[in-house]
Amino acid sequence: MKLDLILQNIAKHIQLDEKEIDYFTSLLTQKTIKRKGFLLKEGEICGYESFINSGCLRTYSIDNKGVEHIVMFAVEDWWTGDLYSFLTQTPASFTIDALEDTEVLQISKANLEKLYYDVPGFERFFRIMLQNAFIAQQQRINQTLAFTAEERYLHFIHKFPQLEQRIPQKQVAAYLGITPEFLSMLRKKLAGR
């Protein structure tokens, strides 16, 4: 199990001694998801918080008309899951699938609760992760409501420059809330400037 990336991720916010690192890593499981495979399907209960060691995942829902709404992409060094389902142990509202072959490290809800009790620093770590997720969600909602499609696209390529090369144009369009055809026209317009 490759642990360097997750330990670096944690070290950005809390310091652990060797015993705490060993205990934490003993609670993790590794999972590999092939491209087009699923980490979570809508209606299932999210049993894990997942850290991406390699690959790319997308979180989305499909509306009554069959239109896909991508709420998030997640790549290396990111945490992902359906947080509401995980915390409440109720059916997930989102599906999470792999856009590339992906390897994740996972911690179950029961093991996370043990970790909070046995290594209190992890309460701080996951509080920071939750705060960051809340801020990102608020910013995304504001951009969806207040930005033009062009502004949303420019923000996306500025904030996530590595993603545009890894994700099909139709996925980027679904994330931005526009059609692939409109995104293509937008890209041509911007390239002409």
Q: In the chain, where do the E strands start and end?
A: 29-33, 38-40, 48-54, 56-62, 68-75, 79-80, 95-98, 102-108
Q: Is the pLDDT of residue 48 over 90?
A: yes
| DSSP conformational letter for 89 | T
pLDDT-above-90 percentage for the chain? 91
- Average pLDDT value for the chain: 95
Q: Is the pLDDT of residue 192 over 90?
A: no
Where residue 111 falls among pLDDT bands split at 50, 70, 90?
very high
Residues 64, 22: Cα–Cα separation, whole Å: 46
Where residue 43 falls among pLDDT bands split at 50, 70, 90?
very high
Find out if CATH 2.30.30.110 is the number for domain 4-120.
no
What pLDDT score was predicted for residue 191? Answer: 87
What pLDDT score was predicted for residue 25? Answer: 97
Phi first, then psi: what are they for 54, rounded to 5°? -155, 150
Encode pLDDT of 51-63 as tens digits. Answer: 999 999 999 999 9
What pLDDT score was predicted for residue 162? Answer: 85
Q: How far is CA 38 from the centre of its chain?
A: 13
Annotated domain spans of the chain? 4-120
What pLDDT score was predicted for residue 69? Answer: 92
Mean pLDDT of 18-45: 98
Residues 51, 67: Cα–Cα separation, whole Å: 28
Where residue 44 falls among pLDDT bands split at 50, 70, 90?
very high
Determine how many CB atoms are found less than 10 A away from the CB of residue 148.
10
Phi first, then psi: what are they for 119, rounded to 5°? -135, 85
- Contact between 166 and 176 under an 8 Å Cβ cutoff? The reply is no
Mean pLDDT of 16-23: 97
> How is 14-39 classified by DSSP, letter by letter?
----HHHHHHHHHT-EEEEE-TT-EE
Dihedral of the CA atoms 175, 180, 182, 184 (nearest 10)? 110
Where residue 78 falls among pLDDT bands split at 50, 70, 90?
very high
Encode pLDDT of 146-188 as tens digits. Answer: 999 999 999 999 988 888 889 999 999 999 999 999 999 999 9
